[in-house]
């Protein structure tokens, strides 16, 4: 009876067979990974105290314990997918240990500068350890914290503002806001529950909390210049070469930061050459003039959603007529468009994908005239033609649909080199297959490819302290052709901490990796293009080097290290 019901439901909810035909996965390794994730998530929920070295040491010991547990696994007995999962977890744990090391260094720097941090941690750590609170002593500690805050503020006020590192001030403000939350949690646990506690502590707590709030705000506004205005300085935190190397190792990229810059510059030069050719086709001798021509080919106000909808339907026909990838019926049904408001365009000036929806940017009535024109020019018809399939199908929407149904135990290994690389790979593929119907379309597609190369150049140089935020903006405007408002929005998003330091590099580098794998398995191999795309989709989000190991017969050893020179 159950089998008949399943058959009946399959007709009501048709999902193509390839969704359940991903690689065979070793069940023991899947269980091992799932148990690790559950334990780690519980640890994260319980031990989440900012600045606490004790909790960092607990995370460190946890990772070391699981690393030891991996020694009990008979690697040679695992199937191919199980071996890949083993390598992925081993790599993940090493990265977590690196993160602990770097966080300890950051904590020490902050505590040496703000000596009051330990006193606040002392109060909350005692509460979490269920030690009895001493209200009188707590009030004394809070008064000491207030005095230390005010003393540090006066000390800094006596300095020339230009002598204080704005980057450190901005980062400190964010961390001190978190510390203020710790202080509130501690107080609210006892408040209105212990009358003696309130008698001794309440008034001093309010003074201390206000002092911490004022100090954090002063650092952000007066030193870092973050007033909530569009023209605020763009401030991030360069991580340096050592951390970049750690991140590259985690992403299984066998290239140094300097080599990655060479790759990006090579791709950028290729785009410039192709842009020159397309510009000549429409009668321009200067590619900047041709780009200006294309940017002014935008739709009327209120028509951008119609344009994107038409482009998506054209993309579906493009894929189906060439039989390039399996598109489940529900994936084709479950997508929609949302318009991005003016405030959000401060960070998302073009588009995004989230929860079955593509965010679409275009001028809004509340923008001033200059901002309207910049938004319309930055989202013109030919730029949008490249963005739409990137965000929806065959890009992120199709990818998200498949990932939620296949190898979900690998979600913890999320990487932009797979997620953004997949969508960027399709930009490569569409260009080669003739998605551009005109030289103007090609210029739009080449603009975005230059943009992806520029993302690598600017962010890697930023984290190597070779380029400032303002120089990043200038590069996007002068070398790529961005509208300045859009360039500012882009750079603000790159470095404000909401994305990892290699996220922007993941687009083009991930796309290049998948393109090279396509060449290896389809162009020079025996796999059909459709099978290749379907198989890449079902592995879920993991470093592309591990996708390669799953789809080939290359040897996998337990001490595997990244070796793939995909651009040589």
From CA 357, how far away is CA 355, in angstroms rounded?
5
For residue 4, is pLDDT > 60? no
- Report whether 30 contacts 79 (CB < 8 A): no
Residues 114-147 pLDDT 10s: 999 999 999 999 999 999 999 999 999 999 999 9
| Res 25: pLDDT | 60
Of 46-50, 322-326, 407-411, least confident by mean pLDDT is 46-50
Of 36-40, 51-55, 59-63, least confident by mean pLDDT is 51-55
From CA 425, how far away is CA 73, in angstroms rounded?
36
- Residue 65 CB neighbour total at 10 angstroms: 11
| Res 337: pLDDT | 96
For residue 12, is pLDDT > 60? no
From CA 522, how far away is CA 14, in angstroms rounded?
28
The residue with tokens 């007709």 is: 11
Q: What angle do CA 257, 259, 265 make, to 5 degrees?
A: 105
Question: For 367, which DSSP code?
Answer: S
Give Rg (Cα) of the chain: 27
Strand 351-354 versus strand 336-339 pairing type? unpaired
| Res 22: pLDDT | 47
| Res 163: pLDDT | 79
CA 401 to chain centre: 19
Average pLDDT on 264-280 reads 97
> Does the CA dihedral 428-433-439-440 come out positive or negative?
negative
Residues 422-437 pLDDT 10s: 999 999 999 999 999 9
Instruction: Give SS3 for 466.
Output: coil
Contacts with 41 (C-beta within 8 Å, 6 or more apart), sequence order: none
| Res 13: pLDDT | 37
Contacts with 108 (C-beta within 8 Å, 6 or more apart), sequence order: none
Contacts with 170 (C-beta within 8 Å, 6 or more apart), sequence order: 219, 220, 223, 224, 226, 235, 237
Instruction: Give SS3 for 337.
Output: strand
- 394 upstream amide cis, omega within 30 of 0: yes
Question: For 195, which DSSP code?
Answer: H
For the chain, percent helix, then strand, then coil, each to nearest 5? 70, 0, 30
| Res 24: pLDDT | 57
Instruction: Give SS3 for 353.
Output: strand
Domain ranges of the chain: 29-110, 114-223, 241-551
Instruction: Label residue 356 left, alpha or beta by phi (over 0 means left) and psi (-120 to 50 means alpha).
Output: left
Of 138-142, 216-220, 397-401, 522-526, least confident by mean pLDDT is 522-526
The residue with tokens 């796309």 is: 511
From CA 199, how far away is CA 480, in angstroms rounded?
63
Question: For 77, which DSSP code?
Answer: G
The residue with tokens 């590099």 is: 505
Average pLDDT on 28-50 reads 94
Residues 311-370 pLDDT 10s: 999 999 999 999 999 999 999 999 999 999 999 998 899 999 998 999 999 999 999 999
From CA 83, how far away is CA 462, in angstroms rounded?
36
- Report whether 388 contacts 311 (CB < 8 A): yes
């Amino acid at each position: 009876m159950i089998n008949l019901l399943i058959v009946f439901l399959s007709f009501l909810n048709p999902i193509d067979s390839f969704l359940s035909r991903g690689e065979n996965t070793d069940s023991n390794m899947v269980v091992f990974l799932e148990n690790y994730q559950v334990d780690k998530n519980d640890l994260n929920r319980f031990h989440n105290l900012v600045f606490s070295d004790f909790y960092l040491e607990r995370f460190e010991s946890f990772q070391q314990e699981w690393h030891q547990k991996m020694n009990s696994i008979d690697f040679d007995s695992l199937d191919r997918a199980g071996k890949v999962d083993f390598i992925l977890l081993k790599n993940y744990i090493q990265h977590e240990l690196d993160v602990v090391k770097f966080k300890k260094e950051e904590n020490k720097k902050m505590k040496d500068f703000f000596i009051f941090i330990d006193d606040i941690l002392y109060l909350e750590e005692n509460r979490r350890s269920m030690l009895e609170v001493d209200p009188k002593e707590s009030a004394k500690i809070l008064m000491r914290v207030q005095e230390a805050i005010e003393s540090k503020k006066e000390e800094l006020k006596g300095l020339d503002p230009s002598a204080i590192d704005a980057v450190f001030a901005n980062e400190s403000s964010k961390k001190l806001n978190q510390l203020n939350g710790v202080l509130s949690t501690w107080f609210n646990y006892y408040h209105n529950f212990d009358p003696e506690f309130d008698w001794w502590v309440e008034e001093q707590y309010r003074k201390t909390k206000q002092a911490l709030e004022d100090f954090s705000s002063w650092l952000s506004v007066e030193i870092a210049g973050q007033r909530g205005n569009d023209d605020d300085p763009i401030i991030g935190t360069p991580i340096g070469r050592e951390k970049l190397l750690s991140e590259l190792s985690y992403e299984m990229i066998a290239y140094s930061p300097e080599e990655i810059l060479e790759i990006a510059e090579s791709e950028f030069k290729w785009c410039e050459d192709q842009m020159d050719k397309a510009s000549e086709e429409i009668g321009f001798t200067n590619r900047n003039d041709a780009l200006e021509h294309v940017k002014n080919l935008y739709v009327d106000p209120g028509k951008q959603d119609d344009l994107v909808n038409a482009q998506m339907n054209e993309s579906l026909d493009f894929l189906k007529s060439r039989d390039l990838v399996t598109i489940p019926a529900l994936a084709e049904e479950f997508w929609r468009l949302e318009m991005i408001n003016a405030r959000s365009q401060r960070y998302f000036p073009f588009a995004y994908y989230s929860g079955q929806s593509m965010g679409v940017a275009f001028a809004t009535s509340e923008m001033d005239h200059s901002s309207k024109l910049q938004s319309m020019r930055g989202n013109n018809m030919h730029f949008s033609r490249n963005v739409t399939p990137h965000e929806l199908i065959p890009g992120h929407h199709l990818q998200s649909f498949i990932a939620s149904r296949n190898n979900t135990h690998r979600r913890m290994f999320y990487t932009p080199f797979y997620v953004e690389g997949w969508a960027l790979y399709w930009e490569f593929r569409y260009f080669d297959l003739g998605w551009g119907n005109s030289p103007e379309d090609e210029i739009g597609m080449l603009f975005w490819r230059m943009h992806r190369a520029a993302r690598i150049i600017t962010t890697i140089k930023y984290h190597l302290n070779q380029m400032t935020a303002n120089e990043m903006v200038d590069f996007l405007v002068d070398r790529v052709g961005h509208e300045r408002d859009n360039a500012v929005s882009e750079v603000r998003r790159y470095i404000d901490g909401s994305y990892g330091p290699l996220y922007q590099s993941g687009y083009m580098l991930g796309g290049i990796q998948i393109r090279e794998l396509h060449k290896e398995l389809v162009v020079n191999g025996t796999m059909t293009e459709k099978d290749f795309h379907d198989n890449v989709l079902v592995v879920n989000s993991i470093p592309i080097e591990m996708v390669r190991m799953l789809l080939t017969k290359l040897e996998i050893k337990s001490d595997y290290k990244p070796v793939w020179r995909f651009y040589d």
